[in-house]
Structure 1
C-alpha cells in the first residue's frame, strides 16, 4: 500500500478565517465559491472554528471544491456562532434556501441532524464523523473514519522516532471520538515500545467544545508535556493544534498533526520544521465521493460509509521527509491491521 499517496500536497485552498467571513451571529459564511450554475447546490455547515482552521473544516471544504470542479455546482458555507447553539438553525437555513445535498462537518451535529432531516425528506444530508443509522430520518448518510487506525500509525511513528521514550497526546475535547484517537495512538506507541510513557491531556472537558479552537491553551498543555520529558506530541485538537506546534518550536521538539497534511497547510516555515507527520483523515475524499454519489443518484441515506486503512481513508503524511526512513515499518503495521492481525482499540484502556 502506498501511504505516501495519502499526502495532500497542498490541495487545501486556504482562505481567510471563518471569523472574517461570518457576521456576529456566525450564521452566514461565503456564498457560491466558484463553480457554475449547473450542478448541485451544496450546503456546507462547518464545525467549531469554521474554514481557515488548517485542519478538519478546511479538508471538508477542499472536498467540496474538488466535487464542484468535477461536477459543476456551487456551495454555501455557514459557521456556528460562538457557543455553537445554532447548529440546527444552520442546517434549516440551508434546506430552506434549497441547498441539496447538505453536509454537516463534525459529530457535534449528531443531536440535531435527524430532526432537521426529517422535516426535509427530499433533501439529502451527510454528517462527517456521525452516523446516518437510526437518527429518525432515512435521508442522512454518515461519513465515518477509522481514526483509531490512522492514530495507531501515528503512535508507531512517534515511538520509533522518540529519543526520550516519552510522547504526548493532546485532545481537543474529551469525547468518544477523540478518545478513539488517543486509544489508537497509545496502542501504536506501545506496540513499538511497550514501556514508553504516553502523556495524555484534553484541552476542554466533555460538552465544552472550546478546546477545538483555543491555540493558546493548546500551547500551554503541550508545553507542559515537553517540559515533562516528551519529545513528540500528537495534537488531535482541531484549530488548537497550532498552539501545540508553537510549543514544539519553542522547545526544539516535534509534533504530529491531524486530519489534513498540516505540514502543507500550516504556512509558517518555523512550524513546518516541527511537524514530523500528520495523521490523515481524508475528509476531503469522503466529501468529494459523497457529492459524486449524490450527482449520479446512488446516495442511499440511513447508512454509514466507513473510511479506513483498507480504503486508504486514513493514514500518514510524508511531507517534509521526516519519516521517510521508517516507511517500511509504517507499511508493515498497516498491512497487519488491514489483514486483521492487529485489532486497534477504539477506547482508551484506562
Structure 2
C-alpha cells in the first residue's frame, strides 16, 4: 500500500497550496555530519549501503528520527544510473567517486546499456522498506542525477574542477554528446518511474554541475533532456523538484520544463526568483549551508530573514542552496530545523 501524503505539509507546499508554515528538509540530510551515519558507514562500503535495502532504509531514517524533518529522501547516489549502464563505479574516502572506464569515444557510448531495471532493482526494494518504516508519517523523496551531471562523471572519470573533457566533447563532438545524453535520459526516465511504482511521494532531479555550462550550452546539453525526463514521468500526485547549481541563473529556463518545484541555490534572492517564474511553480531553498557553521543567533536571524521575504507566498519549501557539509555541527542543523518548525508562521 502506497502511503498517500497529499495532505502533508511538504506535498502541499510542493503543489503551491497554502501551508501554516514552510516545510523543511535539507539536501544531504542523512550523511557525514551525523555520528550515527558513521556508525553505519564504518561497517560497510558506500555502494554496499546504497545496494542493501535495509541499510539504505536505516540511513534514510536517521534525519526523520533525529531531526524530525518534514520529508525523507532516499539514501542512494546520483551515479548509480551510470553504473547500471556499464560504468565501473567506486567511491574512495577523501577522493570521491571514480569511473574506472571513462566514456570518451563512439565505442564507449555504444557499449553503454539502457536495459537497467534489473541492475537497479535494489532501489525500489529499498523504497518499499523505507515506506514501511515511515508508516505514512513522512513523505519520501526519490531522486536521480540529471543527464548532463551524470555525463560529466562518466566522461571525466570522476569529479572535476573544470569539466574540460566534458566540454571538449560537447564542443568538438556534439553528436556523440547527444547520443550519450539521450541514453542517460532514457535510463533516468525508467529509473524514476521505477521509484514512483515502488511508492515514493515526490522526486528530485539533481543537475549538480549545470553551472559549468554557458547559457546556450545549458539549453542544448542539459535543459532539453531534463524537459524530456519530466515529461516522461508518471507524475500524477507526485511533485517533481528540479535542482541545479546555477538555478539562480537558469530558473526561467528550468521553469519551461514544467517542474512543480524549482530548488534554488543561495546566490539569488528567493522572492525575486519566485516572481520571475510562472505562478504555480513552488520554490525550494535557499539558505547558504555555510550559515549552519555560524553561531545559533546568526542561524536563527538568517532563517527568520529568509522567511520574512517568503511568508506571503504559497509554494515555499525551506531547504539549503546545496547540501550539508560533513563537518557542520549536528546541533546546529537540529537547531535550524527547530527554529523553522517552531517559530515560522505563514501569513
Question: Same fold by TM-score, threshold 0.5 exceeded?
Answer: no
Query: TM-score with structure 1 length normalisation?
Result: 0.29
- How does the TM-score come out when normalised to structure 2? 0.29
Higher RCO (CA-CA < 8 Å; seq separation 6+): 2
> As a proportion of its length, which structure holds more helix?
2
More strand by share: 1
